[in-house]
């Protein structure tokens, strides 16, 4: 079985463990997830199943959307509720201060990844170094905050929504916003509500997935890989051209009746659905990257 499950990741497990849940539902089928969520985070986790796992390296860069709750005046070593308290008794900002700081963060800025993150230093994930009590210098990375909104504010807590580029750490973002208010904070809740073009309304819970698997209906929850690449330009192949493509032969893209600049990535369709991905080479040839159909 090949396709995508949009899992509503439960709290308290890693993204790898969440992908294993999907694997078991599909009879130990190979799986891989897109966009890691922290154990304390919940929400949209796209999990590729079967042949679709090879698409992970080709996923288009799309923004993500989160809802988070921040608690002010306290800082933890993980910047979330799972960490040890490092600082307590900090200032509690006003609602207007936080709202203003939140809006000021819209745009592109350099964000320093948290020590408790999967970013590697010398080939070692930062979280492994952090667990050993080590703190190392981290290279700030450019991230983009497309939009943000304060949802609610009460006493020492704020709930906000953020739309951001891939690679943005919401924990670090919350700390950066708090710093603008002259204080510290940590996240008490984090929920991803959109990723890879899929919203939380398309996600299935662990319970729903397990129930479908027990009833032999898990395959009905699979989403076609083509939905991931619906915004790419497309070519439709049939007959000899489709056979050439599936057998791994390059051929002039002009034979499809379409013209593309070199370096263009296209989705390849056949019989009404995506059968593969391809790049247009310097010589104007269609070069297969991935296929979702066996060779006849």
Interatomic CA distance for residues 185 and 180, integer angstroms: 11
The 8-class DSSP code of residue 181 comes to: T
Q: With 0-12 CB in 10 A as exposed, 13-18 as middle and 19+ as buried, what is 64?
A: buried
For the chain, give every residue range classified as CATH 2.30.130.10.
232-291
Three-state SS at 80: strand
pLDDT given at position 295: 44
* Residue ranges, CATH 3.30.2350.10, the chain: 3-61+197-227, 64-194
Write out the H or E segment, with its range, that includes residue 96: helix 95-104
- Measured from the Cβ of residue 281, the count of other Cβ atoms closer than 10 Å reads 15
The residues with which 142 forms a beta bridge, in sequence order, are 110
User: For 283, phi and psi rounded to 5 degrees?
Assistant: -85, 10
The tens-digit pLDDT sequence of the chain (296 residues) is: 789 999 999 999 999 999 999 999 999 889 999 988 999 999 999 999 998 899 888 888 788 999 999 999 999 999 999 999 999 999 999 999 999 999 999 999 999 988 888 888 888 888 888 888 888 888 899 999 999 999 999 989 999 999 999 989 999 999 999 999 999 999 999 999 999 989 999 999 999 999 999 999 999 999 988 888 888 999 999 899 999 999 999 999 999 988 888 899 999 998 778 899 999 998 899 999 998 865 44
Answer for the pair 162, 143: CB distance below 8 angstroms, yes or no. Answer: no
pLDDT number for residue 226: 85
Architecture of the domain spanning 64-194: 2-Layer Sandwich (3.30)
Identified catalytic residue from 38, 77, 80, 279: 38
Domain 3-61+197-227 is found in CATH 3.30.70.920: no
pLDDT of residue 255: 92
- Confirm whether 38 is a catalytic residue: yes
**Rounded to whole angstroms, how far apart are CA atoms 138 and 260?**
40
Identify the CATH assignment for 232-291 out of 3.20.20.140, 3.30.420.240, 3.40.50.720, 2.30.130.10: 2.30.130.10
Q: How far apart, in whole angstroms, are the C-alpha atoms of residue 128 and residue 131? A: 5
Q: What angle do CA 229, 230, 232 make, to 5 degrees?
A: 70
Residue 228 CA: distances (Å) to CA of 4, 31, 79: 9, 16, 32
Pairing of strands 157-164, 141-154: antiparallel
Across the chain, where does the E strand assignment appear?
Answer: 3-9, 31-33, 42-49, 64-72, 74-76, 85-88, 107-111, 120-121, 124-125, 141-154, 157-164, 185-195, 198-199, 234-236, 251-252, 265-270, 273-280, 285-291
pTM above 0.75, yes or no: yes
Distances (CA, A) of 48 to 6, 110, 134: 9, 31, 34
Cβ atoms of 66 and 164 within 8 Å: the answer is: yes
Q: What pLDDT is stored for residue 293 in this prediction? A: 63
The string of DSSP codes covering 27-45 is: TS--EEESS---TT-EEEE
């Amino acid at each position: 079985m090949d396709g995508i499950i949009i899992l509503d990741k439960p709290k308290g497990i890693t993204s790898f463990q969440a992908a294993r849940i999907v694997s078991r539902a599909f009879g130990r089928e190979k799986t891989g997830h897109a966009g890691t969520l922290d154990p304390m985070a919940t929400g949209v986790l796209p999990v590729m199943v079967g042949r679709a796992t090879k698409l992970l390296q080709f996923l288009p860069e799309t923004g993500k959307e989160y809802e988070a709750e921040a608690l002010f005046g306290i800082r933890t070593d993980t910047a979330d509720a799972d960490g040890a308290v490092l600082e307590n008794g900090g200032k509690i900002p006003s609602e207007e201060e936080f709202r203003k700081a939140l809006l000021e963060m819209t745009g592109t800025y350099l964000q320093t990844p948290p020590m408790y993150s999967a970013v590697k230093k010398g080939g070692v994930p930062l979280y492994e170094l952090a667990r050993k009590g080590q703190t190392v210098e981290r290279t700030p990375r450019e991230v983009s905050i497309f939009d943000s909104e304060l949802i609610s504010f009460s006493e020492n807590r704020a709930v906000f929504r953020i739309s951001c580029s891939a690679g943005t750490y919401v924990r670090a973002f919350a700390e950066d916003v708090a710093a603008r208010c002259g204080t510290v904070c940590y996240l008490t809740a984090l929920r991803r509500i959109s990723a890879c073009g899929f919203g939380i309304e398309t996600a299935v819970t662990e319970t729903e997935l397990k129930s479908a698997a027990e009833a032999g209906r898990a395959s009905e929850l699979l989403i076609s890989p083509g939905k991931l690449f619906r915004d790419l330009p497309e070519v439709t192949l049939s007959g000899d051209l489709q056979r050439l493509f599936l057998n791994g032969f390059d051929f002039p893209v002009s034979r499809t009746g379409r013209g593309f600049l070199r370096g263009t990535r296209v989705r390849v369709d056949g019989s009404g659905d995506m059968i593969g991905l391809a790049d247009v080479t310097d010589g104007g040839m269609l070069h297969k990257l991935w296929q979702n159909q066996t060779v006849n």
